Amino acid sequence: MSDEMSKPFPKSAMTEDERYELKRETRIQVISFAFMIGLTIMSFLSVSTETIVTGFAIPFILLLGAVQFFLQLFYFMHLKDKDHGWPNTFFTTGLVLMTPMLIALILLLGVTKW
């Protein structure tokens, strides 16, 4: 076993189906990358052009940021795949626990009394 650990393989054990899946996967990754680039351009544009009012631009870029966040996690980092139950649990836990923390550090600093 130990010696096999550092031995390269002459071929891959993937079946035809798996190979096809991986091809599809690659295509999806590239598309989601293009999509992310689009999102980024949109959020930069919505801030730098004068025509869009601030009241719309701010929630809009936050929304775009959130969408991109999920794309990154679920596609680039494969959280969508199976066998990712525990990683999902831990990452979600982190997100849930940081929410009150962020709110507190922004709002509850004693400047405004809540």
Binding site for other proteins (CB under 8 A): 1-15, 18-19, 22, 25-26, 29-30, 33, 36-37, 40, 43-44, 47-48, 54, 57-58, 61-62, 64-65, 68-69, 72-73, 76-77, 83, 86-87, 90-91, 93-95, 97-98, 100-102, 104-106, 108-114
Rounded distance, CA 87 to CA 96, Å?
14
Nearer to other proteins by Cβ, of 51 and 113: the residue is 113
Quote the least distance from Cβ 2 to other proteins, whole Å. Answer: 4
- How many angstroms separate the Cα of 43 from the Cα of each of 31, 56, 60, 67, 103? 18, 11, 8, 11, 23
Q: For residue 109, give the 3-state DSSP assignment.
A: coil
